[in-house]
A and B are shown apart, each in its own frame.
Chain A
Amino acid sequence: MLKKLDAIQKGETGLVKNVEGDGKIRRRLFDMGVTPGAKVTFRKKAPMGDPIEITIRGYELSLRKAEASLVIIDVEDAQ
């Protein structure tokens, strides 16, 4: 199921399909390993609901929902 990364829920894992946005932000996401094909796992939300924390390429990355909404992921079905 395709969804934006900011809508990722507890316990969900998915593959990055596409990264939208322009210039700087997009490049930054690429540099941090958010490229198509990368596996992302939801970790947690900050106490005030934003930013979120995900696991990608074996490390913890935090990003705001605004940036996460640029990333389209394909969520694996829960087993």
Chain B
Amino acid sequence: MKKFALAGNPNSGKTTLFNSLTGSTAHVGNWPGVTVDKREGIYRKSDESVYIVDLPGIYSLSPYTPEEVVSRNFIIDEKPDCVINIIDATNLERNLYLTTQLLEIDVPIVVALNMSDVVRKNGDEIDASALSKRLGVPVVEISALKEEHLDELMQEAIKASNSPRKGITVIQNRNLLHLINDVNIAFELKNIENPLFHAIKLVELDELEMKMHPETVETVNKFKATFENDIFGNDFEALIADSRYEYITKNYATTLKKNKKSKDGSEKLTKSDKIDKVMTHKIWAIPIFVFIMFLVFHLTFSEDLFFLNGLFHLELNNEVAVNIFSGMAYDGQALQGIPSPGVLLQNWMGFLTGKLIDIFRSFMPVGTWYTSLVCDGILTGLDAVLSFIPQVMILFLFIAILEDSGYMSRVAFILDRAFRKFGLSGKAFIPMLTGFGCSVPAIMATRTLEDEREKNRTIRLMTCFSCGAKAPIWALLAATGVMAGFAGDLFVFAIYLGGIACAIIFALFMKLFSKDRYVSPFIMELPAYHMPQAKNVAAHLWDKLKHYLIKASTIIAACTIVVWFLSNFGWDFWHNNAFNSAFDPNDIASYTFKLGNSTQYYLTEITNKDGVVSTIYNMKWSILGTLGQGLRYIFYPLGALEGGWAHGADAWKYSVSIITGLVAKEDVVATMVQLGLNEETIGLSIAGVYSFAFYNLFTLPCFAAIGAARAEQKGKEFWLTILWWLAMSYGFTLIVYWLGSIFSVVWWAGVLVALVLIGIVVGVGITIDRRNKSNKERIKE
């Protein structure tokens, strides 16, 4: 099968093109190894299928960022049959810069001119055939979004892949060309592949190249000594970058015909500029940011939409309305307000999965171990995970919309200054935002941070950002009785906000103990705002949903079986509930509670209407129960005691679910529900809710994320990260629980504390900054 690579700038529509070409065959490349985010898929619409690799978005083939190195190595080492270079036609000049570098490699290239319809709409025009002539490679105008001319593009690419292409360069400085030629010939004689590309990189004194060809470096240096240029001296790197842009500017001028109307000199504000004026406003930017985040969580988790009930004391008694809003489960209770779309869908999903389990149970024999395994084990566990899908998806939907619209990079722009105070760059913000989705790609994304220390810090802070898999925990806790009324969404908001506040405090703490004040550069494109594209958002959501479903059907299902076994069997395997727990609750005639004879097993004898006696062992004495009771002592100071996390003796259940959460964070809720903890039976106090939530938030992430951290960090640093996660979560939760208990917190306290913490930190930061500045000024004087 032929192999094509997709290369292009970030924001050039590369992902859209990739999704359009490969349809549902795409899968995200796995995390170990050198791929930052290399996706692979198959194009099937031509006679022969083509294997397509989506390389990370890059601006150049310099040796400085991992994405660039990955792309460069892929094209050179894996030798794709063709490189499709996607170019954003609305930003031709900078996009072509990468093209000029790709052209130097001996590989067939086809340029996909994306968004040319937008250019035309603006009244401008791009002469594609002239551009093709200049570049010497086919140029196809496409619209990745509207899927226009994609087949044509692929035909061209297949055609191009049949004939080899020799690298060419656009550099026109005669003296420099002379040197490049000499090195090129030397490389050709040595039978080095892609001689021109390597020659130019060597002349640039590219780090990677100098290591590969140390013997030729001398030639370049000798030449350099004799070389003089008016502007650049003998700085070849600058000279080469400049001659690329020089060429493009010339090229660009003749291929792009600007609409005469817009050429009158006065620059009109585009819609994007107008939006940006508000979103990055000096005063309003930060309140707007907080408001948007609040709205996202409110629409996802609120049980009382827009506080209508809180404000107007609406009580929904109408049976039909209650049925609709709470998922066909009218029990005579009035609804406390209209639920948000997230809660509404969750109610419905829970209703459906609940019904599904009932149907399964009705078809399976009563009182067998496999009925118990399927219904009480696997299905109940999966139900807990699956019923939260609507909420998780709605949260992802909002994040995807914010990302696709271009707002997310503005957030980095707005907050960079604050982040830098805490020893992080605004760039670290992007992995952190990813962390709200999933810690695994987020930790992988820290690879884009060039500075080792910044990378380590960012990885350690990652658990502060509540990942999607943790959302069900908050959703479950938010729905419990102690959160009475409309506080659920505010609790979730407080968890997210509190996480961010702690990230800031922890970062400051790390910075205090670091001697180095170096911060890596922040040079970032701010793409124009555009309407989020339903297709992009849907593709993104589908990706997440698929990932979630795969996880649910594999690792989580496996875990629920293990939990089922451990919670239904005692240490002697004899005392178990697997054979008799699935009786019909309506048939119970009488109970007797007993203490088992020779052993410590508490048991309940149940007699049904037919006089059949079955014995139920208290889960507390199962394998899991005893383990959990041991673990409970570890969590005792954090609230694993009566009145804290638990009603009576349930504390071990919370302890166990923390441990199963290591497998996958969805398992926390799956285990809790399997062990009989749900909205009604969860008996956390308010302080307990916060302590349990924050412990789960900050502690070790799932094994997959730990594995990702292991791949990114070397020896000691990795173990320090593990230690940090353990110590920080324990210490912080301890404080939360005891402060919370002393002041017997109410629902809004979490939000208030989070806001006050952020306020204090920002205040202290500004004071320190001012003092530093005035010190510097004093030194100058």
Contact = CB atoms under 8 A, between A and B. Distances in A.
Interface of A: 18-19, 23-33, 35-38, 44-51, 53, 57-64, 66-67
Given A46-B280, A47-B286, A51-B426, A59 B417 contact: no
11 contacts: A26-B238, A27-B62, A31-B97, A46-B416, A50-B416, A50-B417, A51-B417, A53-B280, A53-B413, A57-B245, A64-B416
B417 A31 contact: no
B417 A48 contact: yes
A14 to B, nearest CB: 15
Nearest to A59: B91
Contact of B417 (A30, A37, A46, A57): A46
B528 interface: yes
A28 B64 contact: yes
B95 to A, nearest CB: 9
Contacts, number: 120
Among the interface residues A23, A26, A48, which one has the most CB atoms of the partner chain B within 10 A?
A48
B156 interface: no
A5 B417 CA distance: 18
B93 A29 contact: no
A60 B285 contact: no
A8 to B, nearest CB: 15
A36 B60 contact: no
A47 B238 contact: no
Contact of A33 (B93, B280, B420, B526): B93
Contacts of B62: 27-28, 31
Interface stretch (B347-355, B516-524, B567-575): B516-524
Given A36-B231, A59-B525, A46 B93 contact: no
Contacts of A58: 91-94
Given A24-B64, A59-B91, A51 B59 contact: no
B211 interface: no
A30 B280 CA distance: 26
A53 B418 contact: no
The 6 A-B residue pairs with the shortest CB-CB distance in the complex, in nearest-first order:
A30-B241, A48-B417, A31-B60, A60-B526, A47-B285, A57-B93
A8 B283 CA distance: 21
Among the interface residues B62, B286, B528, which one has the most CB atoms of the partner chain A within 10 A?
B62
A48 B285 CA distance: 10
A28 B520 CA distance: 12
Interface residues of B, number: 41
Contacts of B282: 45, 47
Contacts of B97: 31, 33
Chain A interface SS verdict (over half): mixed
Given A24-B450, A29-B523, A48-B414, 6 more contacts: A28-B523, A32-B523, A33-B245, A51-B522, A62-B524, A63-B521
A5 to B, nearest CB: 12
A38 B60 CA distance: 18
Nearest to A41: B267
Nearest to A65: B417
Contacts of B276: 44
B626 to A, nearest CB: 54
B546 interface: no
Contacts of B416: 46, 50-51, 64
A18 B420 CA distance: 26
A24 B63 CA distance: 9
A30 B527 CA distance: 18
B650 to A, nearest CB: 47
Interface in B230-267: 231-232, 237-238, 241-242, 245-246
B413 A62 contact: yes
B159 interface: no
Contact of A63 (B64, B280, B522): B522
A21 B64 CA distance: 15
B164 to A, nearest CB: 28
B84 to A, nearest CB: 21
B521 A64 contact: yes
B44 interface: no
Nearest to A54: B526
B281 interface: yes
Contacts of A57: 91, 93-94, 245
Among the interface residues A47, A49, A63, A64, which one has the most CB atoms of the partner chain B within 10 A?
A47
A62 B412 CA distance: 10
A29 B283 CA distance: 29
Interface in B436-487: 450
A46 B413 contact: yes
Given A60-B525, A62-B524, A67-B521, A30 B93 contact: no
